Amino acid sequence: MASILLLLVLLMPALEITGAQSVGVCYGRNGDNLPAEGEVVDLYKSNGIGRMRMYEPNEATFQALRGSNIELTVTILNNELSALNDAAAATAWVQKNVQPFSADVRFKYIAVGNEVHPGTAEAGFLLPAIQNIHSAIVAANLQGQIKVSTAIDTTLVTNPYPPSDGIYTEAANPFITPIINFLVSNGAPLLVNVYPYFSYNDDPNNIDLGYALFTSQGVVVPDGTRYPSLFDALLDAQYSALEKAGAPNIEIVVSESGWPSEGGNQATAQNAATFYQNLISHVTSNTGTPKRPGRAIETYLFALFDENLKGPEPVEKHFGVFSPNKQPKYQLTFG
């Protein structure tokens, strides 16, 4: 018995940082006053943050993550997608940025592109880049550990009210459907950036602030479903669109969600604290959404730090849950 207790004590640090019970936090680096990578990983550890999303490969971060047990999502920038239409380039990317670290860094997702829109220069490059990165992951025999996907925003879906009417726009449908089919065939989730803050600000006269902050009694939508929050409504509109695209069983990972503390309408520290506290409570509670009840929602807060080089809108600089000096802006428990 003593040996079992000793083993449990030894395992406790790892158990505290497993992603299963934790929200993730997005580690953006668009600032000139941010801590060193090792300090950032220590901040994740000391706060029990079990998942990280980063926006481009960074060797110093990979090195600091070794042995941490933090689950990692690595994003490939949109301006790299055209080069990755060359299979050899995709193989080289994986050989440089994944394989040297895969033994003791817990890579979970490769997000190929972030918020690529139909009709843009990157749109035609996205699916071949996803396919080539996936093939390179398979060639490295890492497909059991790492899923390859992309991160979209909620604007690809139209008619989101009621959420059951959500459907991909005419422009988005031919762009996203082949990507969805690829994800389904490989058991990968779709990553979606979900921002009640921006949806609220698009229509503040008709959307209650409390509904966006998880503090209202909810809304009964025209099809009779009661939605407790705008977050759930936005997410279920995405699920409805996936169903109509022939993918009713694909999972969504909320790859970004956040609320700014200044720089825009209702961007206050109090509102941000309320949003983050309630979002964490909701997505870790196994409540789910009306369309997908009874499950936790894998979610990544945006972002770790305020980033003083982001823009062009002032509000973009103020989404951090920590200040660049590593002091918490809000009292949050991450898992």
pLDDT (average), residues 110-115: 98
b or e along 233-267 (b: 16 or more beta carbons within 10 Å of the residue's beta carbon)? bbbbbbbbbbbbbebeebebbbbbbbbbbeebebb
> Rounded CA gap, 164 and 161, in Å?
7
The CATH number of residue 41's host domain is 3.20.20.80
Examine residue 250 and state whether it is found in any structural domain, yes or no: yes
> Rounded CA gap, 154 and 160, in Å?
9
Element counts in the chain: helices (H) and strands (E): 10, 12
With helix as H, strand as E and coil as C, how does 198-262 read? HHHHHCCCCCCHHHHCCCCCCEECCCCCEECCHHHHHHHHHHHHHHHCCCCCCCEEEEEECCCCC
Output the pLDDT for position 220.
97
Residue 6 clears pLDDT 60, i.e. is over it: no
Asked if residue 144 lies in contact with residue 135, where contact means CB atoms within 8 angstroms, the answer is: no
The DSSP result for 23-75, as a single string, is -EEEE----SSPPPHHHHHHHHHHTT--EEEESS--HHHHHHHTTS--EEEEE
Select which of 37, 71, 80, 115 is catalytic: 115
Residue 5 clears pLDDT 90, i.e. is over it: no
Residue 7 clears pLDDT 60, i.e. is over it: no
Asked if residue 190 lies in contact with residue 149, where contact means CB atoms within 8 angstroms, the answer is: yes
> Rounded CA gap, 128 and 301, in Å?
29
Task: Tokens for 2, please give them.
Answer: 């003593």
Examine residue 90 and state whether it is found in any structural domain, yes or no: yes
Tell me if residue 59 is catalytic. no
pLDDT band of 2, cuts 50, 70, 90: very low
Output the pLDDT for position 21.
57
Select which of 71, 80, 122, 256 is catalytic: 256
Asked if residue 283 lies in contact with residue 301, where contact means CB atoms within 8 angstroms, the answer is: no
Examine residue 275 and state whether it is found in any structural domain, yes or no: yes
Output the pLDDT for position 11.
38
Nearest to 149 by CA among 166, 123, 122, 130: 130
pTM for this model (two decimals): 0.94
Examine residue 122 and state whether it is found in any structural domain, yes or no: yes
Backbone angles phi, psi at 165, to 5 degrees: -90, 0
Query: Based on the structure, what is the number of domains in the chain?
Result: 1
Tell me if residue 256 is catalytic. yes
What pLDDT digit, counting tens, does each position of 34-81 carry? 999 999 999 999 999 999 999 999 999 999 999 999 999 999 999 999
Query: Does an H or E element contain 10, and which?
Result: helix 2-16
What pLDDT digit, counting tens, does each position of 139-196 carry? 999 999 999 999 999 999 999 999 999 999 999 999 999 999 999 999 999 999 999 9
Reduced to 3 states, what is the DSSP secondary structure of residue 160?
coil
What pLDDT digit, counting tens, does each position of 219-239 carry? 999 999 999 999 999 999 999
Examine residue 106 and state whether it is found in any structural domain, yes or no: yes
Examine residue 328 and state whether it is found in any structural domain, yes or no: no
The dihedral over CA atoms of 64, 67, 69, 73, expressed in degrees to the nearest 10, equals: 50
Output the pLDDT for position 8.
36
What pLDDT digit, counting tens, does each position of 236-292 carry? 999 999 999 999 999 999 999 999 999 999 999 999 999 999 999 999 999 999 999
b or e along 171-197 (b: 16 or more beta carbons within 10 Å of the residue's beta carbon)? ebbebbbebbebbbebebebbbbbbbb
- Kindly report the average pLDDT of the chain as a whole number: 94
Domain span at residue 176 reads 24-322
Examine residue 9 and state whether it is found in any structural domain, yes or no: no
